[in-house]
């Protein structure tokens, strides 16, 4: 990610939690993503069961934590793609005070390089995600970055979500 943007992605640390819990999302965004507190609870539950395949990452602007998302290589990935080198992106949220500034696009565009530099053991060559049919803003963002639509997921609990993939 460009130094001039002052944006940075890093693995989640417990010290990031208070900043992540300090924001909520507008009502109209709540159907489309989980809040950071919910995401962290789900990951803790998975970790307690010995599943360490979900990697929470935070988005920093300067020293401020302004968002988060998860890169997942666990069993859910198989509900979206057959590519064993794909990474499932889930639960992206950005503090509303920082939305509509191109941050989501910058972060998503930087992921192939981030994966190559910081998670080379995954040998990732694709990011796959699900988008709710009503979430037109996210669909446009992902398409602009280079994601393509690959139909609809027919697997519960994701039935009807648009499958989008970006392969490099």
pTM over 0.75: yes
Instruction: Quick: pLDDT tens for 96-142.
Output: 999 999 999 999 999 999 999 999 999 999 999 999 888 888 899 99
Q: What is the mean pLDDT of the chain?
A: 92
pLDDT at 5 over 60: no
Instruction: Quick: pLDDT tens for 38-51.
Output: 999 999 999 999 99
pLDDT at 3 over 80: no
C-alpha distance from residue 166 to each of 81, 88, 133 (Å): 11, 11, 18
Q: Which domain holds residue 135?
A: 3-167
pLDDT at 13: 98
Contacts of 19 (CB under 8 A, 6+ apart): 64, 65, 66
How many folded domains does the chain comprise?
1
CATH at 38? 3.40.630.30
63-102 exposure pattern, b = at least 16 Cβ within 10 A, e = fewer: eebbbbbbbbbeebbebbbeeeebbbbbbbbbbeebbeee
pLDDT at 83: 96
Q: Where is average pLDDT lowest: 16-25, 106-115, 154-163? A: 154-163
């Amino acid at each position: 990610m460009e130094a001039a943007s002052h944006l940075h992605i890093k693995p989640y640390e417990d010290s990031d939690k208070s900043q992540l819990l300090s924001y909520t999302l507008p009502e109209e965004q709540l159907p489309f993503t989980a809040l950071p507190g919910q995401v962290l609870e789900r990951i803790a539950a998975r970790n307690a069961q010995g599943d360490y395949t979900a990697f929470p990452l935070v988005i920093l602007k300067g020293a401020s934590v302004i968002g988060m998302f998860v890169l997942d290589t666990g069993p859910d990935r198989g509900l979206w793609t057959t590519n064993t080198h794909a990474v499932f992106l889930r639960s992206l949220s950005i503090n509303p005070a920082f939305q509509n500034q191109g941050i989501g696009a910058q972060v998503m565009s930087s992921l192939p390089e981030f994966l190559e530099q910081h998670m080379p053991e995954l040998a990732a060559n694709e990011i796959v995600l699900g988008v709710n049919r009503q979430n037109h803003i996210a669909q446009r963002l992902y398409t602009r970055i280079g994601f393509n639509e690959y139909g609809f997921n027919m697997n519960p609990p994701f039935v009807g979500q648009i499958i989008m993939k970006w392969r490099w």
